[in-house]
């Protein structure tokens, strides 16, 4: 059964609680990237245009309640949602955005009770509440009592069973917003019903972070490309010398199993054939660095691999350009350093030139493709790194699973 969508709800005159993802990067009071605010606008505007009263909930940053009271208060002050309210008002000049510096109590309740159609209330950071991340039953029930309907539009948070993602819709009729609908369509179609050839690209540091993704994608795709730091564990599993490169020795047997699995399924698992090496990891990360290119089986004992080499980049790009569906999660090297970003850039460029459906699975890959200027040249850039990974692993997403069916 398909999930109910916001367009399936009768929202006129109703108080609609919307879980959005306003976890924006910021320096002090300045938001450095407002893409997550922009991504939430279609759902918010739809509700306002249909005479709803919109109550927005989001987290911002982290609050670690295991730390001292002083550290907790500092984290709260750093992650005050007031800066987002100001930005949201800029995007909604014809609607009143009311920021409530509370997560429960009379101030919040009064603001909600006095709302008029076409107004927006943005509540303070959900993580100001200790029970948010524990899906505290009382907290979810309390927040649900503020509204008539619930819309889930924070794809970046649906992999977490929190009070604001699972607790609220336990008590209210619920639906998916436009952003969540878009994410599920792109990722779902790519993984479950891809136009072939289907190429998966995985990068990043550790094999351990993507065990289930590798396993699941091998079942689904025609070619699986492995780059980034995790490639060196696969190379070592093949018996190749990797020098001082990053390696996950506990996962060598797993890598051998995946290589055997690919062969058994008749799938292509591509690893680097050459690599960019240096004496040490750059410190700071964007510092100038001396590098050389060597074959992937000839990494000097004292060197470490930090990016895929030009032959590998060409090989990967060729596979990507011939694909009809591509899903990419994880950079090919230390892309934050301009010297070590060439491999990631070549793969990003290939995706931009591909005629098929190209999907970036959030996290570092999303940051990389934006940094390199290709974000508007791919089919979809996911807003949720963790949620995208969970989806690619074949796991359920608690914040989606709880949404009412049509």
Which residues belong to the active site? 36, 206, 363, 386
CA 5, CA 2: separation in Å to the nearest integer? 9
Task: Tell how far CA 248 is from the center of its chain.
Answer: 24
CA 178, CA 185: separation in Å to the nearest integer? 10
Question: Residue 174: enclosing H or E segment and its boundaries?
Answer: strand 174-176
Task: Tell the residue number behind the tokens 């694909």, with chain if given.
Answer: 323
The answer to whether the beta carbons of residues 312 and 275 sit under 8 Å apart is yes
The answer to whether the beta carbons of residues 325 and 196 sit under 8 Å apart is yes
CA 153, CA 363: separation in Å to the nearest integer? 18
CB contact set of 392 (below 8 Å; sequence gap of 6+): 187, 191, 213, 216, 217, 327, 329, 361
CA 87, CA 26: separation in Å to the nearest integer? 12
């Amino acid at each position: 059964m398909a999930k109910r969508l916001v367009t399936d709800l009768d929202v006129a005159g109703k108080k609609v609680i919307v879980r959005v993802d306003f976890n924006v990067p910021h320096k002090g009071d300045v938001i450095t990237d407002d893409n997550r605010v922009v991504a939430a606008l279609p759902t918010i505007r739809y509700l306002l245009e249909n005479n709803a009263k919109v109550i927005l909930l989001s987290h911002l940053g982290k609050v670690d309640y295991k730390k001292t009271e002083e550290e907790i208060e500092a984290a709260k002050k750093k992650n005050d949602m007031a800066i987002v309210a100001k930005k949201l008002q800029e995007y909604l000049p014809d609607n009143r955005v009311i920021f409530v510096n509370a997560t429960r109590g009379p101030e919040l309740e009064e603001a909600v009770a006095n709302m008029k159609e076409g107004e927006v209330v943005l509540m303070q950071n959900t993580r100001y509440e200790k029970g948010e991340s524990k899906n505290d039953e009382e907290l979810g029930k309390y927040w649900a009592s503020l509204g008539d309907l619930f819309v889930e539009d924070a794809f970046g948070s649906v992999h977490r069973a929190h009070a604001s993602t699972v607790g609220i819709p336990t008590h209210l009729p619920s639906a998916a917003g436009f952003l969540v609908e878009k994410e599920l369509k792109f990722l779902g179609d790519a993984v479950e019903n891809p136009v072939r050839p289907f190429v998966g690209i995985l990068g990043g540091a550790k094999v351990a972070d993507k065990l289930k993704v590798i396993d699941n994608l091998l079942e689904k795709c025609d070619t699986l490309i492995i780059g980034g730091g995790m490639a060196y564990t696969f190379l070592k599993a093949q018996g190749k010398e990797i020098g001082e490169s990053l390696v996950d020795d506990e996962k060598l047997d797993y890598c051998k199993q995946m290589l055997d699995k690919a062969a058994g399924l008749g799938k292509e698992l591509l690893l680097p054939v050459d690599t960019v090496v240096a004496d040490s990891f750059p410190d700071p990360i964007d510092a100038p660095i001396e590098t050389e290119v060597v074959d992937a089986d000839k990494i000097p004992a004292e060197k470490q691999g930090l990016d895929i080499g030009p032959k590998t980049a060409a090989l990967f790009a060729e596979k990507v350009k011939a694909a009809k569906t591509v899903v990419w999660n994880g950079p090919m090297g230390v892309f934050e350093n301009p010297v070590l970003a060439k491999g990631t850039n070549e793969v990003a460029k290939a995706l931009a030139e591909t005629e098929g459906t190209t999907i970036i699975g959030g996290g570092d890959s999303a940051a990389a493709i934006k940094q390199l200027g290709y974000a508007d040249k791919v089919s979809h850039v996911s807003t949720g790194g963790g949620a995208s990974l969970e989806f690619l692993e074949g796991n359920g997403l608690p914040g989606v699973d709880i949404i009412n069916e049509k």
